[in-house]
Amino acid sequence: MSLQIQGVIIECVRGNIADQPDMEAIVNAANAELRTGGGVAGAIHRAAGPELEQECRALAPIRPGQAVISGGHRLPNRHVIHCLGPVYGVDQPSAALLASCYRNALQLAEQQGLASLAFPSISTGVFGYPMAEAAGVAFTTILGELARLKSVRRIRFVLFGEADLDLHQKALQQAAGRA
Ligand code: AR6
């Protein structure tokens, strides 16, 4: 599914965030140390190779809501934008911190003049954020930033499962209806 809003294509697809060769940057659901891990971080670091962790050492640690940018190394993408999402119910206020991940990631992409970036559903795995709530925060935040975007023209959400994809498509439609 794909919508064009204020000149920006926003799409939801099912797949692996580490396998998005047509995107200039992908976003990592990182840990504070920017090391490899489970889920998204594991998939990205495995595909990028050990050079990614090496580069990230100088950028870590980061705080919940923050984002930093690195090269893509062996990934097909020029950059990886690493976001530390909030641990649900622990890093408070969770919604504001999650929103700031999306805002900061978009800002870094703009600073680099990137045209496309792909997000996973930050915080909804190990960090326990209920996915419907997280998707609402993600799309409301992104739609709120669209007017400020100059270089970013395509934003993709990459979801692992069919149910996750379905939920994101509904959340996007809902947020777009309100915008
Ligand atoms: N592609 C797309 N989505 C994925 C993939 C993938 N390859 N793998 C998992 N997901 P998580 P978090 C989904 O746990 O909650 C890590 O170990 C997954 O189903 O990767 O922000 C780090 O080291 C879920 O919906 O990120 C941190 O310590 C979503 O992506 C911690 O986990 C995010 O799951 C970060 O936790």
Separation of 125 CA from ligand 1 center, angstroms? 5
Task: Give the pLDDT confidence of 113-160 residue by residue, as tens digits.
Answer: 999 999 999 999 999 999 999 999 999 999 999 999 999 999 999 999
CA-nearest residue for atom 5, ligand 1, is 40
Ligand 1 atom nearest 85 alpha carbon: 21
Q: What is the atom index within ligand 1 of the atom nearest the CA of 158? A: 2
pLDDT tens, 86-125?
999 999 999 999 999 999 999 999 999 999 999 999 999 9
Q: pTM for this one?
A: 0.98
Ligand 1, atom 32, residue with closest C-alpha: 126
Bond into 130 cis (ω within 30): no
CB-based burial, 84-106: b 16+ in 10 Å, e otherwise: bbbbbeebeebbebbbbbbbbbb
Per-residue pLDDT at 179 exceeds 80: no
CA atoms of 91 and 94, how far apart (whole Å): 6
Q: Pseudo-torsion of CA 129, 21, 19, 31, nearest 10°?
A: -40
What is the per-residue pLDDT for 178? 80
CA atoms of 167 and 84, how far apart (whole Å) = 22
Q: Write the residue with the smallest CA distance to atom 28 of ligand 1.
A: 31
Q: Which domains occur in the chain, in start order?
A: 17-177 (3.40.220.10)
SS3 135: helix
Residue range 72-88, pLDDT digits in tens: 999 999 999 999 999 99
ipTM of the complex: 0.99
Residues 132 and 172: beta-carbon distance below 8 Å: no
Q: Is 148 helix (H, G, I), strand (E, B) or coil?
A: helix
